[in-house]
Amino acid sequence: MEIISPVDYVKRSLLAVQEYSLLSVRSVTNLFRHPRYISDAIQQADLIGVGSLPIVVLTGLFTGIVLALNTSKTLERFGSLSLTGTLVSFSMVRELGPVLTSLMVAGRNASGMASELGSMKVTEQIDAMRALGTDPYKKLVTPRVISTVFMMFFLTIISDLVGLAGGWLISFGLLGLDTYQYWNSAYQALSYNDVITGLIKPLVFGFIIATIGCYYGMNTKGGTQGVGRATTQAVVASSVLILAVDAVLTQLFISFK
């Protein structure tokens, strides 16, 4: 294992932050420059959005079920079982829907992007693309960033709805709650701020997933071993960053309430 001095470590870290920031800025500014790769973006939206649908639905469903089961035990003690819908709805829409959906999409797509672009990098396909007069940031990075941000919005809405449906399954089937009561309390629990919070978070998380995945892919070194390393690092970095940014955003939205 290579041992590096603390000074070199800091230098490398700062350089990585600089390169990541440049990639992020370019991925957005490329939207205003020709050529635009709309068909590539649609293809990526299909791969990222439609492809992630099964895991997002399953995650949402089981999260809703578990939330209803756990909260009902506590609520039963205080004789407030009717509030199950309120707690499931509040937790899913504001927090668990966006975060868990993002973590699942990060596991599936940040790794996919890092390994695909990483393989292209180590086999000189990225250089070949540049040599053929095509900007790889425009053709490969921007379509992935745009489609991930766009699809994360809808995937989170689906996850929230399926989670609420999971909560209803338990409330109606196991706890014997009235269907109208469950859905009404779930609806009444949400304020405008909750919905906005739950819909802005996935946009930010989608941007993190795609830019981190592309960054590690575009900076892959060291052959197939490097591709494996880039894939792992992309999942770890995007997951940690999602959770850290979630904490900041939550505090930010609470202070704006």
Positions in the binding site for another protein (CB under 8 A): 35, 119-120, 123-125, 127-135
Specify the residue, 120 or 186, whose C-beta has the smaller distance to another protein: 120
- From the CB of 133, what's the least distance to another protein, in Å? 4
- From the CB of 121, what's the least distance to another protein, in Å? 11
- From the CB of 33, what's the least distance to another protein, in Å? 8
Residues 6+ apart with CB under 8 A from 155: 49, 52, 53, 56, 101, 105, 202
From the number of C-beta atoms within 10 Å of its C-beta (0-12, 13-18, 19+), residue 146 rates as: buried
Specify the residue, 119 or 197, whose C-beta has the smaller distance to another protein: 119
Specify the residue, 74 or 225, whose C-beta has the smaller distance to another protein: 225
Q: In whole angstroms, what is the distance from residue 194 CA to residue 196 CA? A: 6
- From the CB of 125, what's the least distance to another protein, in Å? 5
| CA atoms within 13 A of residue 175's CA, in its CB half-sphere | 29
Verify cis geometry, omega within 30 degrees of 0, for the bond prior to 6: no
Specify the residue, 31 or 244, whose C-beta has the smaller distance to another protein: 31
